[in-house]
Amino acid sequence: MENVFLTNLITVFALCCAVLLLFLRLRVPSIIGFLLTGILAGPSGLQLIHSGQQVQLLSDFGVVLLLFTIGIEFSLKGLMQIRKYVFLGGTLQMAFTSVLGFAVGDMLGLGLTEAVLLALIVSLSSTAIVLKILDERAETTSPQGRNTLAILIFQDISALAIMLLIPFLAGSSSGVREAPFMLLFKGAGLIALFILGYRWIVPQLLKLVARTRSRELFLMTIILICLGVAWLTYSLGLSLALGAFLAGLIISESEFSHDALGRILPFRDVFVSVFFISVGMLLDMTFLMENLGIILLAASGIVVLKFFTGAVSVFGLGFPLRISVMVGLALAQVGEFSFILSQTAFDYGILSPSHYQLFLATCLVTMAATPFLMGISPKVADLFVKLRLPERFNHAMMPAGFVAGSDDGVFLDDHLIIIGYGINGRNVSKAARMAGIPYVILEVNPDTVHTERKAGEPIFYGDATQEAVLTHMGIARARVLVIAIPDVAATRMITSTARNLSPKLHIIARTRFVSEVKPLYELGADEVIPEEYETSIEIFSRALSEYLIPRDDIERMIGELRSGGYEMLRSLSGDATSSSLAGLRIPDFKITTLTVKPGSRAAGRTLTELELRKRCRVSILAIRRGDKTILNPGGDDMLVQGDDIIVTGQADCILDIIHLLRPETDEAPF
């Protein structure tokens, strides 16, 4: 007998590989490839899979696997750490979206039950897509990333409540009175079972299995828990998806959660692809083409609605306009839970077939647009910031005392400005305080500002991407600016703005990846510290220690590696003297390194002929020529092209000799 399911699964994955290969070459997001694969393979496409029952089976399989991975990554303990942003921000976003969505549905003539359900479903966003994009862009720890994650967590929790609400709505619309009471009984039993499994059954079972030290048995047990709880909820008349999520949640709170997650993670991307492929199969292409205008109009309306409600919610928490706009765009789609809930509502008869297909097609359009919306979100946020809005909009809804620019303004000279008060910012401020260096901190998290100001830190609330905020922090009088935030786009903007406001300011920027070094140097950064590079040095250091290499030798190697590596990184800016120019923007006395360029006026001349100390008040401390270093060079020592010279003097005086080290552009004598 032919195994139809296996044949269909192989067909789908083969088609998916081909589509993804093409889309990756065209740099089109993979999520669109998954949806297109489902559309092509489904009954309305190439009809590679034409049985409605088979499509439903694949869809259920994908949903169970997807929600199990979401549940196993979920943490109730982690939830409590950001509970304010989860519950307050999530409640505001879902409440605004639901109310406005219901009003629109009522104006369109939908019934009460259908309008309520659609409003609730539309308020949900895609956790899988948004988190994947945030992770790829290294923004999960940025302010917009943290707020987006908090709201998505609340939406996932609310989806479970909506899932339990659907039978109530179906019962009220069909006149069935017993269903709600039976559902309450089942819900109470499910909660009791969850608590029992979370506290006793699953931990004891996993502990027993872990003692065998069998990887195969452990993995099979994890899958058994997933499918078993999903089957149990389905037997109670609830959905497979709810059971899969609860199973993952039970495991996530056990002491074996990390091991379980590590074994499941390799399959996560496959699970996500199966789900989105199955969603694409459910789309009726004939309906899509016949109603394309309505679908695009509905999708545009949802994007605008969710962008507005998401941005307003984050703004209401006290975050700046720029971050609020970026969060709004990240949440401006309908998520995977919405598909599951709409299908459940369709099965209960709440949604008509035409409305279900319209909703399905509209959701697919919003999800496909998400990578593009999040890609342009920094530019859109910048446009909003540049609008002539009242000053309070740029600083969010905070008391005036917390806004940089209030009556308790900054009046310091030669001070240090720290952007961001995470781990890096805290360490910099602590070092500055110990060294007696005057400093101020700029942070966008209102709770952090409130707490640290009470503790006596000179911290202010404000968006450092805005000129007015940096100006009020005394950037024109500051000596050093340290940018210690994980937001790549904001770091670039702050660097560019700060350099325009203060040409002599020394800018030190932190970035995660080496690939960000070149753009930041080009924008005016003096020092760029890539965490990726520093991590490699630390690993290298500890690895050598295990081989009993003397510590002095390790420190020497680290010094050479840092010296050569950072010289290479600075050269990425396209200006070979950028490493030298790093110190030239600092007022006062400075020691820095300059390079003698081929064809420069200084090449081939002795120090006596140059007379740098007499003419320019600049002294040469050493000449580095290849592997050789000439310390305290005399007047007879000659400079040759490629030499690195270590000079000291006033910054303005050092600037005066730069032209001597660059290629000669005119015939004027020295």
- 426-481 residue pLDDT tens: 888 988 888 888 999 998 888 888 888 888 888 888 888 888 888 888 898 899 99
**Which whole number is the average pLDDT over 400-410?**
42
Where do the DSSP E strands lie in 467-613? Answer: 480-483, 506-511, 527-530, 589-595
Class of domain 588-661: alpha beta
The residues, any chain, with a CB within 8 Å of residue 290's CB and separated by 6 or more, are: none
Which residues have CB under 8 Å from 402's CB, separation 6+? 446, 449, 450, 453, 460, 461
The answer to whether domain 74-386 and domain 400-579 are alike in fold is no
In this predicted structure, what is the pLDDT of residue 498?
92
Percentage above 70 pLDDT, the chain: 80
Structure confidence at residue 418 (pLDDT): 93
What's the pLDDT band for 522 if we cut at 50, 70, 90?
confident
pTM for this structure?
0.67
Phi, psi of 608 (to 5 degrees): -65, -40
For residue 572, the model assigns a pLDDT of 46
Mean pLDDT (the chain, rounded): 78
Confidence band of 573 (pLDDT split at 50, 70, 90):
very low
Three-state secondary structure call for residue 420: coil
Give whichever of 45-49, 560-564, 619-623 has the largest mean pLDDT. 619-623
Strand partners, 631: 622
Order of strands, sheet of 589-595, starting from the edge strand that comes earlier in the sequence: 589-595, 644-650, 619-625, 628-631
Tell me what the mean pLDDT of segment 562-578 comes to.
50
Q: Which is more confident, 97 or 658?
A: 97
Q: Which of 41-55, 102-116, 398-412, 414-428 has the highest mean pLDDT?
A: 414-428
* pLDDT score, position 129: 81
Domain positions in the chain are: 1-46, 74-386, 400-579, 588-661
Q: What is the pLDDT of residue 75?
A: 65
Q: Coil, strand, or helix at residue 627?
A: coil
Rg over CA atoms, the chain: 31
* Tokens at 364, concatenated: 């697919």
The predicted structure's pLDDT at residue 409 = 45
For domain 400-579, give the CATH superfamily. Answer: NAD(P)-binding Rossmann-like Domain (3.40.50.720)
Residue 660 has pLDDT above 70, yes or no: yes
Bridge partners, 624 (sequence order): 629, 644
Please report which residue ranges of 406-530 form alpha helices under DSSP H.
423-435, 446-454, 467-472, 488-501, 517-523
In this model, does residue 261 exceed pLDDT 50?
yes
Whole-number pLDDT of residue 301:
92
Widest CA span of the chain, in angstroms? 104
Of residues 80 and 195, the one with the higher pLDDT is 195
pLDDT at 125 over 70: yes
- Which residue reads 């872990």 in tokens? 210
Q: What is the DSSP letter of 663?
A: B
Say if residue 319's pLDDT is above 80: yes
Q: What is the mean pLDDT of residues 254-268?
A: 70
Amino acid 270: pLDDT: 72
- CATH class, range 74-386: mainly alpha
Confidence of residue 602 (pLDDT cuts 50, 70, 90): confident
